[in-house]
């Protein structure tokens, strides 16, 4: 058997049991809970177990895509640790793999997969959210680096990121989608100022990022100069897969690697602690109704049944999409359907919780309904309909891409960006 094993010999024929068996043998031979987490992840990278569906040159084994989820789950089941969870592995890495040069893939992918470098997404601006292609942060080439000026906003985790997925305009003389370039921006430099924003639910998970003569090395361009929109679409397609942010259930056993992995997850998921509430907590409605003594109320019962039905149907749609991806399909329109369904469920769930708690839903603190969780649900649910593309934008995508309806009228599409009046 080669170092990368039989599983890589004939990827088309490979069976999940075979992959599990090879992985188990690898873990039994190499895993030591007392080693440094980084050293363990280096071993995963070298053996191609980091992202098994990726090319061999970039830490994979060219296995079918279902192997990624299988291996991630098996590593945890075996008491070991896989690659980190976060914007780096979720968004930046697949974008770099799809659009980056070989040099960028060699340089940027490994530190993402070992957890050495974390990433944030620097797309939205005060004047460009849904209309992302209307962004006005500029990048000008100056010798060996690009000089960046502008402002970004709503940038989750930018306050502790090492690198940023930055969209900036490199050519204003062409229509808006054509003059955008996608950069890998080093965050720790004097030209990058990150200011945390306090949300109405009291958390502070995103930021404003001010870029003043910030520098990006000349070669840190993901995709060609002026072709950043295509790379941005790849990132956005992956962004609709929120399940990629699921917290790994690491073994509670002692050991340096496990301690470091648990600390890393703790740190990372602190930012996302309100995300379950953002999804409306449909899982809590029955418990909430029982605690409030309203399970006999026919109106409440109807509302709960309706919500649970929506939730189940959406879970099945998500499962269908997961199976399609495991079979090798790239993320597609089902991401928009899932995202829209998640917004509807979150809103409906907030309504049902309010119906159960009545005026008590407005109270926060330990003595309020479900110890303040319900108040946090009400304040967090609006975010579900905005993050990763608003409900209206998902509806536009579905209308055009799935239903084949005529495209929305976009009068600014073919005009050079510099001639758009509202940009002046």
Ligand X SMILES: Cc1cc2nc3c(=O)[nH]c(=O)nc-3n(C[C@H](O)[C@H](O)[C@H](O)COP(=O)(O)OP(=O)(O)OC[C@H]3O[C@@H](n4cnc5c(N)ncnc54)[C@H](O)[C@@H]3O)c2cc1C
Segment lying near ligand X (by CB under 6 A), choices 99-107, 154-162, 336-344, 354-362: 154-162
**Can you tell me whether residue 93 is helix, strand or coil?**
helix
Q: How far is the CB of 78 from ligand X (least distance, A)?
A: 33
- Do the Cβ atoms of 354 and 378 come closer than 8 Å? yes
Q: Judged by CB, which is closer to ligand X: 27, or 393?
A: 393
Interface mask (CB under 6 A) for ligand X, residues 304-343, using x and -? Answer: ----------------------------------------
Minimal distance, residue 197 CB to ligand X, in Å: 10
- Subset of 189-208 contacting ligand X (CB under 6 A): 206
Q: How many H-runs (helices) and E-runs (strands) does the chain carry? A: 14, 7
Q: Judged by CB under 6 A, which of 53, 95, 117, 121 binds ligand X? A: 121
Tell which positions 359-418 bind ligand X, by CB under 6 A.
383, 386-387, 389-390, 392-393, 396, 408
Annotated active-site residue in 239, 264, 334, 376: 239
Beta carbons of 81 and 255 less than 8 angstroms apart: no
Active site residue 239: yes
Task: Say whether residue 88 binds ligand X (CB under 6 A).
Answer: no
Strand partners, 165: 121, 184
188-191 contacts, C-beta under 8 A, 24 or more apart: 188/162, 189/214, 189/215, 191/148, 191/215
Q: Judged by CB under 6 A, which stretch of 116-124, 189-197, 242-250, 413-421 contacts ligand X?
A: 116-124
CB of 417 to ligand X, least distance (A): 17
Q: How many Å apart are CA 76 and CA 417, to the nearest integer?
A: 49
- Residue 155 in the binding site for ligand X (CB under 6 A): yes
Using CB under 6 A, which of 54, 66, 119, 154 touches ligand X? Answer: 154
Contact string (CB under 6 A) for ligand X, positions 250-269, x = contact:
--------------------
Name the nearest CA neighbour of 134 among 179, 185, 183, 194: 179
Nearest approach, Cβ of 155 to ligand X (angstroms)? 5
| Number of alpha carbons in the 13 Å side-chain half-sphere of residue 124 | 18
183 counts as binding ligand X under rule CB under 6 A: no
Burial class (CB in 10 A: 0-12, 13-18, 19+), 286: middle
Would you give the distance in Å from CA 183 to the centre of its chain?
A: 18
One-character DSSP codes across 115-184: TSS-EEEE--BTTBSTTGGG---EEEEETTEEEEEEEEE--TTGGG-SEEEEEEES-TTSBTTTTEEEEE
* Nearer to ligand X among residue 305 and residue 407 (C-beta): 407
Report the distance separating Cα 198 and Cα 181, nearest Å: 30
Question: In the bound complex, what is the minimum distance in angstroms from residue 307's beta carbon to ligand X?
Answer: 22
How far apart are CB 121 and ligand X at their closest, in Å? 4
- 143 to each of 19, 140, 146, 219, 289, how far by Cα in Å? 48, 10, 8, 11, 65
Number of residues located near ligand X, criterion CB under 6 A: 19
168 forms beta bridges with: 181
Rounded least distance, CB 418 to ligand X, Å = 22
Which residues lie below 8 Å from residue 346, measured CB to CB, with a gap of 6+? 278, 279, 280, 381, 384, 385
Question: Considering the rule CB under 6 A, would residue 130 count as an interface residue with ligand X?
Answer: yes
Residue of 31, 123, 183, 417 that binds ligand X (CB under 6 A): 123
Distance CA 44, CA 38 (A): 10
Nearer to ligand X by C-beta: 287 or 408? 408
Q: In this complex, which beta carbon is closest to ligand X, that of residue 105 or of residue 339?
A: 339
Residue 114 binds ligand X (CB under 6 A): no
Residue numbers annotated as active site: 239
Residues of this chain that bind ligand X (CB under 6 A): 121-124, 129-130, 154-156, 206, 383, 386-387, 389-390, 392-393, 396, 408
């Amino acid at each position: 058997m080669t170092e990368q094993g039989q599983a890589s010999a004939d990827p088309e024929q490979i069976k999940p049991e075979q992959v599990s068996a090879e992985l188990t043998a690898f873990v039994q031979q190499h895993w030591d809970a007392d080693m440094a987490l980084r050293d363990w992840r280096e071993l995963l990278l070298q053996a191609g177990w980091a992202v098994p569906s990726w090319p061999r040159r970039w830490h994979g084994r060219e296995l079918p895509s279902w192997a990624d989820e299988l291996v991630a789950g098996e590593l945890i089941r075996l008491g070991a640790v896989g690659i980190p969870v976060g914007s780096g592995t979720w968004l930046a890495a697949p974008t770099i793999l799809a659009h980056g040069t070989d040099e960028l893939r060699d340089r940027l992918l490994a530190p993402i997969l070992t957890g050495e470098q974390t990433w944030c997404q620097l797309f939205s601006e005060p004047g460009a959210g849904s209309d992302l292609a209307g962004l006005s942060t500029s990048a000008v080439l100056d010798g060996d680096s690009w000089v960046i000026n502008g402002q970004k906003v709503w940038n989750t985790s930018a306050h502790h990121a090492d690198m940023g997925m930055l969209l900036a305009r490199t050519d204003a003389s062409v229509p808006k989608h054509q003059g955008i370039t996608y950069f890998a921006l080093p965050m720790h430099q004097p030209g990058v100022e990150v200011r945390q924003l306090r949300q109405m639910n009291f958390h502070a998970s995103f930021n404003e990022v001010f870029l003043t003569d910030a520098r990006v090395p000349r070669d840190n361009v993901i995709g060609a100069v002026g072709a950043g929109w295509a790379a941005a679409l790849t990132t956005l397609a992956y962004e609709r897969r929120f399940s990629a942010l699921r917290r790994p259930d690491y073994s509670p056993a002692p050991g340096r690697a496990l301690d470091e992995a648990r600390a890393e997850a703790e740190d990372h998921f602190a930012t996302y602690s309100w995300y379950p509430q953002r999804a409306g907590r449909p899982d809590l409605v029955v418990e909430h109704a029982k605690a409030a003594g309203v399970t006999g109320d026919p109106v409440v019962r109807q509302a709960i049944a309706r919500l649970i039905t929506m939730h189940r149907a959406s879970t099945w749609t998500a499962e269908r999409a997961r199976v399609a991806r495991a079979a090798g399909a790239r993320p597609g329109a089902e991401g928009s359907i899932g995202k829209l369904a998640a917004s509807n469920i979150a809103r409906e769930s907030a309504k049902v919780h309010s119906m159960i708690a009545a005026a008590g839903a407005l109270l926060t603190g330990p003595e309020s309904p479900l110890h303040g969780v319900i108040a946090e649900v009400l304040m967090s649910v609006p975010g579900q309909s905005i993050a990763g593309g608003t409900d209206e934008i998902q509806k536009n995508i579905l209308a055009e891409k799935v239903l084949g309806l005529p495209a929305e009228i976009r009068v600014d599409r073919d005009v050079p960006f510099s001639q758009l009046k509202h940009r002046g």
